[in-house]
Structure 1
Amino acid sequence: MVTGRHHVLVTGGAGFLGSHLCRRLLDEGHRVSCVDNFATGSADNVDDLDSRVGFRLVEHDVTEPLPELGAVDAVLHLASPASPVDYRRLGIETLRAGALGTERALDVATRNGARFLLASTSEVYGDPDRHPQPETYRGNVDPVGPRSMYDEAKRYAEALTTAHAGRYGTDVAIARIFNTYGPRMRADDGRVVPTFVTQALAGTPLTVAGGGEQTRSICYVDDTVDGLLALLRSRIAGPVNLGDPHERTVRAIAERILWHTGSDSPLTTVPGAPDDPRRRCPDITLARTALGWEPGVSLDEGLRRTVAWFAAVGTAAA
């Protein structure tokens, strides 16, 4: 998928990141088949796309054989719960999406001679003891810990993708996505930015886990989409880290959100989640050199857009 118009299958396309990808692909003139079972995604995320030429929404569980969609040129496999709240609630479903779902999506790509992109995650590194994390780092993961259903699902998906390429010659790419934020995140998905934004807008205390000194590198969704499409259009198999290399404490992120919302909500400390990574920051040397990609949206600009969206949604809902 280098030039021209193509038919792209996006599994998990009604989720937060998937819906942004569908929108961008349509804007570029491609046809998009969006497959989602709405376990964590929502038809509301793509309801404005229904009337657009070239868009098709298919309600389907990717752990079952995919319906006939016609010839496809690229498959982007994003189908999986992605927030701790969701994958702990849907542990078995998360593992099945990483195993059976990945196999179904790979089979479609192989039959069509299509480029396949796996949306993997920084969670494959676990609670890292190497910093920042390059793609060569093998991780520090607890296979039976509270995050294991997501960590191991993605680690297996990466192994399956690699094995599929080796046996069948499938044209594959693996993206390791670090924390991404932006409009259309669910307020209750448990991740840092939507949690703090909704609390600040409501005037309630911002619940900072532990001491708030654990770090995150958060990347605005438009930049993550740029990175995914750059990898899709390349010939690189990866894995490739996609994330913002600027490390910030959770407390600093909370304080910046207070500034953007103008809220006087206090910060309150709550117990840290078990197995919560202490530091998380990508080494994006490979993405810079091989893809010419790095984030371009500043934290303040990304938070401004995100706060504005949540404020508008809250106003509309009221």
Structure 2
Amino acid sequence: MVIHLDGILSSLIIFTFIHIFQVINGEENRISSLEKRIQELEARQQQYPEVTFLTYKDRKRILVTGGAGFVGSHLIDRLMLEGHEVIVADNFFTGRKRNIEHWIGHENFELINHDIVNPLYIEVDQIYHLASPASPLHYMYNPVKTIKVNTMGTINMLGLARRVRARLLFASTSEVYGDPEAHPQKETYFGNVNPFGPRSCYDESKRVAEATCYAYAKQEGINIRIARIFNTYGPRMHMNDGRVVSNFILQALQNEPITVYGHGKQTRSFQYVSDLVDGLISLMNSNYSMPMNLGNPDEYTIEQFAFKIKDLVGSKAPIVYKDPVVDDPKQRRPDITLAKSWLNWEPKVLINDGLNKTIAYFRNELLVKHHSERNVFFPNEWLHTSDVPRTSTAKNIEL
């Protein structure tokens, strides 16, 4: 039998080349698969707006209690963009993690799930004490908790400020004036508050908290600021908090009857949230330590406001009138003379501009149908540049 070695050798060489080609092709497929997975992971990776770099002399460690709430989340946006290290303490009673998720993972940001009714031991330079239910629906749902947050929680934050010698800004409220007999309300007005009515858990606990702040300031030398905040609105408001703005917008968007409690002639003054944030930061960094009103002196009746929102939404929903709410203030308008003179502050956002942004946010919120969808609002007036990267996980994003 004759063996043709040349033929066998040729077959072996061909077989070897085929095998090598298959291996290389398989490896290329694996590499392509790995590259695709890496691209998917990078696409899911959080991207952050560019923040200002501050040296150790200018950078502050700032605690914001209630930072996952409506006002707190906007304050955090500003503080983060300014380059500070921000710590949020929130128990999510009324706040939402989604309000601040665009900062989670950033090296300057830290989130602590904490109820400030219990002491907190950290190192900070400034404390913005915003933690408290703020809408009647929420604070009347759990009045005991509301009192504890504003009394025990404030004492704990003042204790922290004393230990680390931090400056503390307490977010008080126009509700300390009660149903005012003076109009507009000046900081020197002592108020007309029902001490045991349905709103007293909020009104009186805020008054006690103010008194506690000044007791600590006098006895312990704590550097404090008191902001008396008037009605505020804007994106990230709780959809179901029972407040005038959120109620009217939600009802108008869904073409449900717009409910006005009472005759609708009671008045309110509404400020957009970015104006409030400007005022809070200016007050914190000022030399003024007595209570200061932060609000918009433009006054509207509730009835006027209902028609305004109805027109902006383009809704055909009817306006209906229901029984008045107990202890509902008849007039509410701030005197902001102090804020103008000490902070050079006054509201800048026009009511129609602010309401249109808020309506757009609520409209997007109603479109969210799945957990993976995001209705992210990041104010473009706070961005350093026009090409700041957006949050990559957002589906509905307004910049």
**Counterpart AA for 2:148:** R
Matches within 5 A, 1:145-156: 145-156=197-208
Code of the residue aligned with 2:205 in structure 1: it is A
1:279 paired residue among 325, 331, 341: 331
- Which structure is larger by alpha-carbon Rg, 1 or 2? 2
Match of 1:45 among 65, 87, 99: 99
Residue 115 (structure 1) aligned with residue 177 (structure 2): no
Asked if 1:61 is matched to 2:61, the reply is no
Distance in 2 (alpha carbons) for counterparts of 1:51 and 1:23: 14
- Determine the structure 2 residue equivalent to 1:209: 261
Between the aligned partners of 1:226 and 1:261, the Cα distance in structure 2 is: 28
CA distance in 2, matches of 1:109, 1:183: 31
- Superposition pairs for residues 152-191 of structure 1, below 5 Å? 152-191=204-243
Say which is worse superposed, 253-262 or 157-166, in terms of deviation: 253-262
Q: Which amino acid aligns with 1:222?
A: S
Q: Distance in 2 between matches of 1:282 and 1:299?
A: 16
* Structure 2 Cα separation of the partners of residues 53 and 256 of structure 1: 43
In structure 1, the residue matched to 2:22 is: none
Residue deviations 1:216-275 (CA, integer Å, cap 9, x gap):
001000000000000001011120000000110011111111111111111011111110
Distance between the aligned counterparts of 2:85 and 2:224, measured in 1? 20
Q: Which runs of 4+ in 1 moved over 3 A?
A: none
2:320 to 244, 259, 268: 268
1:33 paired residue number: 87
- How many angstroms does 1:41 deviate by? 1.0
- How many angstroms does 1:51 deviate by? 2.8
Q: CA deviation at 1:49?
A: 1.4
Matched, 1:10 2:39: no
- Counterpart amino acid of 2:360? A
Report the CA distance between 1:156 and its aligned residue: 0.3
Paired letter, 2:247? T
SS of residue matched to 1:227: helix
1:81·1:90 contact (CA, 8 Å) conserved in 2?
no
Q: Which runs of 5+ in 2 are unaligned?
A: 1-56, 371-399
Structure 1 residue aligned with 2:391:
none
What is the CA–CA distance in structure 2 between the aligned matches of 1:156 and 1:270, rounded to whole Å?
A: 33
State the partner residue of 2:190: 138
> Among 308, 331, 340, which residue is 1:288 paired with?
340
Q: CA RMSD in A?
A: 1.0
Q: For 1:50-129, list aligned pairs within 5 A.
A: 50-66=104-120, 68-69=121-122, 71-129=123-181
Q: Contact between 1:181 and 1:193, CA under 8 Å: does it hold in 2? A: yes
Aligned length: 314
Question: How many Å apart are 1:53 and its aligned residue?
Answer: 2.6
Distance 1:311 1:4 in 2: 40
Tell me, which stretches of 5 or more residues in structure 1 are unaligned? Answer: none
TM-score normalised to structure 1 length? 0.97
Answer yes or no: is 1:21 the counterpart of 2:101.
Answer: no
Worse overlay, 156-165 or 4-13: 4-13
Q: TM-score, normalised by structure 2?
A: 0.78
Alignment partners' CA distance in 2, 1:111 and 1:234: 22
C-alpha displacement of 1:175: 0.4
Identity value in percent: 50
Pairing of 1:193-232 with structure 2 (within 5 A): 193-232=245-284
Q: Which deviations, in whole Å up to 9, do the C-alpha atoms of 1:114-166 show, x marking residues without a partner? A: 11000000000000000000000000001001110000110000000000000
The letter of the residue matching 1:301 is: D
1:5-44 Cα deviation digits (max 9, x unpaired)? 1110001111111111111110111111100111111112
Within 1, Cα distance between the matches of 2:160 and 2:329? 35
